[in-house]
Amino acid sequence: MKTKHYIFALALLLLLVGLGGWWQYNKPARDLNNEKADFSIPTTELYEQFTQNETTANQQYLDKTLQVQGVLKEISRGEDGSLNLNLDAGSEMGGVTCEVPAANIPEGLALQVGQQVKVKGQCTGYLMDVVLVKCVLVL
């Protein structure tokens, strides 16, 4: 009789794990267009916080929605039509990199190096640059 209970419990556990996996796989992607920024910060200050104490900065900013403002240092386009914006952070060693998916690029957008911009994105951490993904331009 106990064997039936164990089999039932195991089947129920597998069903719950399967449903959880299915839900995670089909969960809609995060849309930052309508999401309010958790923090609004200049690129120089954000970069400085990550270079001074990466652990503390990760605890504060990782996976949060950040709105950063800074001077556009470099623009490149990815193979998928996305924009990669490198914002000046007051350091020769790094900056803030913002990946803007093609779907988030406004029509007729004309960006120029040296231009002041505001970008909202999800912080994924620090790798020589502070990296923001799923970005939208704040116009």
Model pLDDT, residue 65: 96
List Cα–Cα distances, 123 to 7, 20, 22, 135, in angstroms. 44, 26, 26, 10
Give kind and range of the element (H or E) at residue 20: helix 2-26
Q: Are residues 48 and 97 in the same domain?
A: yes
Weakest-pLDDT range from 4-13, 20-29, 55-64: 20-29
Residues 75, 133 within the same domain: yes
- Same domain, residue pair 78 and 109: yes
- Report pTM: 0.79
Task: Give the span between the Cα atoms of 70 and 67, in whole angstroms.
Answer: 10
The amino acid sitting at 117 is V
Q: Would you say how long the chain is, in residues?
A: 139
Statement to judge: residues 125 and 72 lie in one domain: yes
- Residue 111 within a domain: yes
The 10s digit of each residue's pLDDT in 57-108 is 999 999 999 999 999 999 999 899 899 999 999 988 899 999 999 988 888 7
Same domain, residue pair 15 and 65: no
* Whether 118 and 80 share a structural domain: yes
Q: Is the pLDDT of residue 130 over 90?
A: yes
Residue 34 lies in a domain: no
Q: What is the CATH number of the domain that holds 93?
A: 2.40.50.140
Tens of pLDDT along 28-46? 777 778 889 999 999 999 9
Report the domain count for the chain: 2
Which residue range forms the structural domain that includes residue 78?
39-137
What is the separation, in whole angstroms, between the first and last Cα of the chain? 67
Q: What proportion of the chain, given as a percentage, has pLDDT over 70?
A: 99
